[in-house]
Structures are given as C-alpha cells and as structure tokens.
A and B are shown apart, each in its own frame.
Chain A
C-alpha cells in the first residue's frame, strides 16, 4: 500500500536482529531455527517436506544431540529465565549478609554502574587507572567472565564487559591485591 512506503514502517518495525540487517536474511535464519519444542512433529515434518538441499548445521539436525525432550525443555526453561528481562547479574560484596541483583543493560557505562554499586552497598570505588587498577579505596569491583576467571572491572570496553560478565563481586582490599589494586 502507498501509505506504508511513505511512513517508512520498515525503519520503525520491531524485529529481532541488529539494526541494518536485511529482513530477507532474518527470514531464512528463522526458518532454519530449532523446531519449537511444543511442535516437534509438525515442524520436523515440514522441514523434511521442504526438501531443502543445504546441509544442516549442528544446531539444526532433528533429534541431535540425543537428549530427552524433558531434559531439553528443562534446560530451555532455565536459559529463557536467564535471558529474558534484561541482563541480570548477581552482585556480592565481601562481608555483606546477602547478594543483590542488577540489570547491566540499564547502565550506559562504567561511571553509571559504579554509582549504582556505591549507592547499593554504601562504599566508594577508587580511581581507575590502567596501570594501577583502582587506587584510593579499600574496595575493588571484580567480575567473573564466561571462562570462569575473575577479572578487574574497567579494563575492557563497556559492551564487551556486559556481554562477558556473569556476576560481580566487590572485593575487600587485601584480597584485591592480585588484581592490580594498590592499597
């Protein structure tokens, strides 16, 4: 319809995927996505009948890896819970009686994150320098990355950080020494 073009609905349309990616490629990738757990036989049948000749990649082979639907659905539920509603990570602070949770997506960068942590746990983050880490404070912010390693917060670009960060821990002075804190 004429109106659609003028209103440029495409640009404002909500869709999955990075801005700028074409809708065509998204369509194709959605088609080859995993079968919906609740509609296995239907989708599987549809896929077979499509007679697509492109070789399926690991994630798209029906029934592989061979794990029971029940187990797959359980994992799926847990993953969905983890992924929906923002990027929540746990924050612990040495000596605090319980942990907190924050949504990393809410912050635009490190300064905002630190302000939020300072308010939450009533402490002050020191001044960051690449050479010396956090100077001037007994507390140092650290995070666990996807490899399970404990890293100093602030070394990598913000986007990289929020994608790698699994949880945060605010470490007390003496323990923080190995992470570049001069106390």
Chain B
C-alpha cells in the first residue's frame, strides 16, 4: 500500500466513514496517519474536555463538521449543577481564529451563549448546519443571528433545549435570499413566532424536507405550510386543535393528503383527539412516530391512529397508551425496531399505565425490536426472560421502574435473573440501564455475558463492591459507566485504575467512595481528570480523606485539568 500515491489512499479513505474506522486507519502507520488527518472532514468528540480546540485544529485542518458533547449524561436528570461546564464558546472562538471552514456543528449537553451563536454565524462563510440537543444558555436572539448571517444555512435543528424565548422575531431574520433550508426544527421553543414570516420562509424553501413546529403554530397555519411544502419527509405538528366541522379542517385534510412523502411524524404538542382522522392517510407510510409530548392523545383515539401505522419502525409514546395499547402496537407494527415509552405522570400517585404485560406483548409481536426505553410501574423476572427469548437482537435496553428498588411483584425476588436473561440472550447489547431491586448477582451476569456492552447505567442497586468489580473485570468494551446510590467504595474504585483509561468516563454519586480513594486514582493516573463536585462546599472545611464523596466524575483526557471549572468542583 506504500507504493500508492497519497491521492489514491485518500480516495480509498473516502469510503471509510465511521469515526471508529477512521481512527483505526490513522493508527496503521505514519503515512496513513498523515493522509487520514488531512482528508478528515468529520470529527466526533464525545467529551469536550478530553481534547482542546487548538489540538483539534492542528491535527485536522480540513475539518468541516464537528460534534461535541459536554456534560455527563446524568446532567439530564439534574444531578450536575448548571454551571459545571461544557461551554462551547472557547471552541467557536478557536475555530473562528483558525482557517477552518466549519460547515456543521452538532452539540449535545453544552452551554451555548448568544455570544457564541453570534460569533459562529459571522465566522464561517459556508456554515450550513447547526444541531443543538439538550443544550442551554441561549435565547432567540442567538437564533436571530444564525438566521440573519448564515447565508447558506441548510439545517437548524433544536431538540429539547432550554431556550429563553424573547418572543421570536428571529424567524423574520432569515433574509429573502435564504432559500437553502432543508431542515428547520424549533419545536422546543415556547414562545410565539411570526406566522407570516414562517409561511414566507417555507414558501421560498423548495428543498425543505424536515419541518418541526412549536406549540404556537396553530392548525390553520399548519394547513397553509403543508400546501406550500408537500415534499416534506419529516413533520412536527405544533398545535393540533380545531373544530372538526370547520373549513380549515377540511383544507387541512386535503393538504395532508398531498404530502405523500411524509415518513416521520411528531409533535401534537396541543391536540384535539377527535381531529385525528385527517392524519390517517399518511399513517400507512410512517416509519417514525413520536407522540411522547401529546398526553392529550390516549385511549381509543390513540389506538385507532396506531392501527393505521403498519410500517412503523420507531415509536415514541407516553405510558397512557397502556398495556392494552401496546397490544395494539404488537399486532400492527411488525416492522418495529425501536420503542420508547415515557411516563406521563412521573410523580403521580403511582398508577403508571404500563407494566410488564405491555412489554411482553410487544416482544412477542415485534421480532425486529432492538432498542428499548421503557418506563413502567413494575417488572417481573418471568417477563424479562420471555422478552429475552423473543427479542435476542437488543442493542439498547433501558428499563426504568418508577419505584427504583421494586422487586418482582409476583415472587418478591430481585430482578437479577430477568436482566441476566437479557444480557445472556442479547449478544449484541451495547447499552443497558437497570432498575428495580438488584443484588450483586445481576452484575455477575453482566460481567459474564455482556461482551459488547459500551454503556451501563446503575441506580440503587447491588450489595457490595463485588458488583462493580464484576462489571469492570468482565465488560471489555465498556466506555461509559454511570452509577448512583450504590454501595460501591474505594476497594472497587481502586481495583483496576488502568481500566479507566480505556473508557470515556466514570460517574459515581451517592456511593461509598472517599476523598482518599479518589485522590489515589488521580495520583496513579495522570491521564485522568478526577473531578469532585461538592455543592455544599463541605470539602473546603473538612479535608479528611475518609470523607465520603457525594459526586465524582472522572474521564480520560489529553489536555490535563480544565481551567473553567466552577468553585465547587475540585480536580484532584
């Protein structure tokens, strides 16, 4: 291969698209490393503190697309204080100063200021795509800057961000000359939008394939938008409330019928269930349906809708669908691969509408099921064993029993055997989240069988250090381990500190690890940042090594201690 000129190798590398594979290619030899780095356009950084923007720019001068993730996963559940870190500004500043022709930026769990968005919008002439997932720190003013300045913008995709809405004139900031939009998702914005500006924008965007509206967009505007964009492939409906006998509703029915390309449907942020029949004509083609923000849709109306969706591959739904509704899914959606059932009343009186029965029904009816997120009232070992038998193809299996330490209600046993069956049967399992009453035994099974496991989430489980040790010793491909409220202490933490260098990160909160134990890890492994997050600032006054640490987050890094940590974070 050394006899080929670089251009040939580059051409060959073009076919290698996965990040993992390209990383492997770069390790083969010096010349491959060089060719790979100059031809690399897309880079994925799973932890923004593992590397610095300067080093990124130095290695990949041809960078066009950057994906960055900031806060640890448990930040989603309020376990990480807001100003912990994950600021994107330094990255944008560094990229702006360099000669990088950034075209795409995808951020998850990062703090994004209006200032960063403005700088982004002004620094990269060819900027095309901005995707923000679970981010915070910006307002609609930042979006206005993106709209106004990114002349060739194709994609603006905002997913579940906390945005301070200054009542959008931001949509009006897209200039008349902007006709390049392919994807626009502003469903997470809570404020009003200029409906006229929205209609005009959609009218002049012939390539628009994905449009997700927020709650402030009423049905009659939806109807007008659909008339102008019958080529849509992905639609997110904002408000779906209207009188079924009105003229507007009739017009909507006609408009929807023209949209023969819609394959993905979401939203219904506000819904009048008796108007759902207008949607039926497009249901037969849907591959993705997300009703997880539509608590108003349940019972018979919901089941009737689902019965029309025979080609569904991914379904996101609320638990008010009930076990009965899941039975309808099992009968109808034979192509189903991914199911997510979210709680509609997470802090309610404890009458979540799905149990193990619904899951068993779906597993029996949908043999292609490979990805699950399931919030339920209860689970039994028998059910999990049946599910494991029916669906050996799980890649992601995330079970959340609303009472985190609930045993099998039939046998009163822990759920060790059930989860054991899952890991034994699903040889390709990459991600697992456990809940319910669990002893060390389940971790023995995980260590033994979960050979492909990359991410494991544990809460309120185990009896002793053995649990954690089984996992660390057994799961060779483990990348992310997050643990809360488990009796794992220093013995487990310190058993094999070298292991943490093979992983992206480890989170432990409300466990038994001590300050001394964490210091020990930091001392032995200079390539790790060991962060102690101490909101009560107890550590300041009490430097006793035997003190238990409330929250510890450690991760491998090439650039040492970060300089932007707030006061209550100590990096050992």
Inter-subunit contact B535/A44 (CB<8 Å): yes
| Given known A48-B535, A97-B243, contact A67–B343 (CB-CB < 8 A) | yes
Interface size class on chain A is 20 to 34
Residue A89 at the chain B interface, CB threshold 8 Å: no
A74 touches B459 (CB 8 A): no
The stretch that binds B, out of A14-22, A58-66, A114-122, A131-139, is A58-66
With A44-B78, A97-B245 given, is the CB distance from A67 to B535 under 8 Å?
no
Query: In the complex the two chains form, is B536's CB within 8 Å of A49's CB?
Result: yes
Q: Within the assembled complex, what's the spacing in Å between the Cα atoms of A61 and B403?
A: 10
A70 touches B400 (CB 8 A): no
Is A35 on the interface with B (CB-CB < 8 A)?
A: yes
Which one, A48, A59, A67, contacts B342 given CB within 8 A?
Answer: A67
The answer to whether B160 touches A71, judged by C-beta atoms less than 8 angstroms apart, is: yes
Contact indicator A66/B295 (Cβ below 8 Å): no
B544 at the interface (CB under 8 A from A): no
- B window 298-323: CB within 8 A of A: 298-299
Q: How far is the CA of A72 from the CA of B74 in the complex (A)?
A: 15
Interface residue tally for chain B (C-beta within 8 Å): 39
Q: Of B293, B347, B550, which is in contact with the most chain A CB atoms at under 10 Å from its CB?
A: B347
User: Shortest CB–CB separation between residue A60 and chain B, in angstroms?
Assistant: 9
Query: Which of B243, B346, B550: most chain A CB closer than 10 A?
Result: B346
Smallest CB separation, A110 vs chain B (Å): 26
For residue A56, give the distance in angstroms from its CB to the closest CB of chain B. Answer: 10
- Are A70 and B347 in contact, CB atoms less than 8 angstroms apart? no
Contact indicator A41/B81 (Cβ below 8 Å): yes
Answer yes or no: B54 CB below 8 A from chain A CBs. Answer: no
In the complex, per-residue mask of A131-162: 1 if CB is within 8 Å of any chain B CB, else 0: 00000000000000000100000000000000
Docked complex Cα distance between A74 and B293 (Å): 8
Query: Which chain A residues (95-109) contact chain B, with CB distance < 8 Å?
Result: 97-98
A94 CB to nearest B CB, Å: 12
Task: Check A62–B79 contact: CB distance below 8 A.
Answer: yes
Q: Which residue of B lies closest to A79 (CB)?
A: B345
Closest to A51 in B: B536
Check: B156 CB closer than 8 A to any chain A CB. no
Q: Which of B343-361 contact A (CB under 8 A)?
A: 343-347, 350
Are A63 and B484 in touch, CB under 8 angstroms?
yes
* CB-contact partner of A65 in B162, B293, B400, under 8 A: B400
Residue of A nearest to B82 (CB): A41
Q: How far is the CA of A169 from the CA of B342 in the complex (A)?
A: 29
Contact A70 B188 (CB under 8 A): yes
Q: What residues of chain B lie closer than 8 Å to A78, measured between beta carbons? A: 295
Interface string of B385-416 (1 = CB under 8 A from A): 00000000000000010111000000000000
B346: which of A40, A72, A148 is its contact (CB, 8 Å)? A72
Decide: A65 and B76 in contact? CB cutoff 8 A: no
Question: How far does the Cβ of A82 sit from chain B's closest Cβ, in whole Å?
Answer: 9
B77 at the interface (CB under 8 A from A): yes
Query: Do A58 and B78 have beta carbons less than 8 Å apart?
Result: no
A148 in contact with B77 (CB, 8 Å): no
Contacts of B188 in A (CB 8 A): 70
In contact, B346 and A67 (Cβ under 8 angstroms) = yes
Does B134 have its Cβ within 8 Å of any Cβ on chain A? yes
Is B375 interfacial (CB 8 A cutoff)?
yes
The closest CB in chain B to the CB of A147 belongs to B351
Q: Is A45 an interface residue (CB 8 A)?
A: yes
Q: How far is the CA of A152 from the CA of B124 in the complex (A)?
A: 66
Q: Which residues of B149-168 are within 8 A (CB) of A?
A: 160-162
Known: A41-B82, A67-B77, A97-B245. A61 touches B404 (CB 8 A): yes
Q: A69 interface residue, CB < 8 Å from B?
A: yes
* Chain B residues with CB under 8 A of A44: 78, 535
Instruction: Chain A residues near B79: list those with CB within 8 A.
Output: 62-63
The contact of B404 among A41, A64, A97, by CB within 8 Å, is A64
Task: Give A81's nearest chain B residue, CB to CB.
Answer: B270
Q: What CA separation (Å) do A95 and B380 show in the bound complex?
A: 47
A48–B536 contact, CB under 8 A? Answer: yes
Q: Are B346 and A69 in contact (CB under 8 A)?
A: no
User: Does A183 count as interface, using CB distance less than 8 angstroms?
Assistant: no
Q: Is the CB of A65 within 8 A of B536?
A: no
Does A75 lie at the interface of the complex (its beta carbon under 8 Å from any beta carbon of B)? yes
The smallest C-beta distance from B486 to any residue of chain A, in angstroms, reads: 13
B94 smallest CB distance to A (angstroms): 29
Interface string of B524-536 (1 = CB under 8 A from A): 0000000000011
Question: Are A98 and B403 within 8 A (Cβ)?
Answer: no
Partner of B459, one of A64, A71, A75, A148: A64
- Closest CB in chain B relative to A40 CB, distance in Å: 4
B536 touching A66, Cβ below 8 Å: no
Pick from B292, B295, B484, B536: contact of A45, CB under 8 Å:
B536
Interface string of A81-95 (1 = CB under 8 A from B): 000000000000000
Q: Are A59 and B76 interface neighbours, CB within 8 A?
A: no
Residues in B neighbouring A73, C-beta threshold 8 A: 162
- When chains A and B are docked, how far (Å) is the Cα of A69 from the Cα of B80? 12
- With a cutoff of 8 Å between Cβ atoms, the chain B residues found around residue A26 in the complex are none
Considering the complex, give the chain A residue whose CB is closest to the CB of B404.
A64
Known A67-B342, A78-B295, A98-B245: A34·B347 in contact at CB below 8 Å = yes
Q: Are B245 and A48 in contact (CB under 8 A)?
A: no
In the bound complex, residues from chain A placing their C-beta under 8 Å from that of B344 are: 75
CB distance from B294 to the nearest CB of A (A): 10
| Given A41-B82, A70-B160; A63-B77 close (CB under 8 Å) | yes
Residues of the A chain whose Cβ atoms lie less than 8 Å from the Cβ of B77: 62-64, 66-69
Nearest B residue to A97 via CB reads: B245
Q: Determine the chain B residues whose CB is within 8 A of the CB of A35 once the complex forms.
A: 78
7 nearest A-B pairs in the assembled complex, by CB-CB distance: A63-B77, A45-B535, A41-B81, A70-B160, A40-B78, A49-B536, A59-B347
Which positions in B face A, CB cutoff 8 Å? 74, 76-79, 81-82, 134, 160-162, 188, 243, 245, 292-293, 295, 298-299, 342-347, 350, 375, 400, 402-404, 433, 457, 459, 484, 535-536, 538, 550
Q: Can you list 16 A-B pairs with a CB-CB distance of less than 8 A?
A: A40-B78, A44-B535, A45-B81, A58-B404, A63-B78, A65-B375, A65-B400, A66-B457, A66-B459, A68-B77, A68-B160, A70-B160, A71-B293, A71-B342, A75-B345, A78-B295
Please give 13 more A-B residue pairs, beta carbons under 8 A apart, in addition to A66-B76, A68-B76.
Answer: A45-B536, A49-B538, A58-B350, A63-B74, A63-B78, A65-B346, A65-B400, A66-B459, A67-B77, A68-B134, A69-B162, A75-B346, A98-B243
Which residues does A use to contact B, with CB under 8 Å?
34-35, 40-41, 44-45, 48-49, 58-59, 61-75, 78-79, 97-98, 148
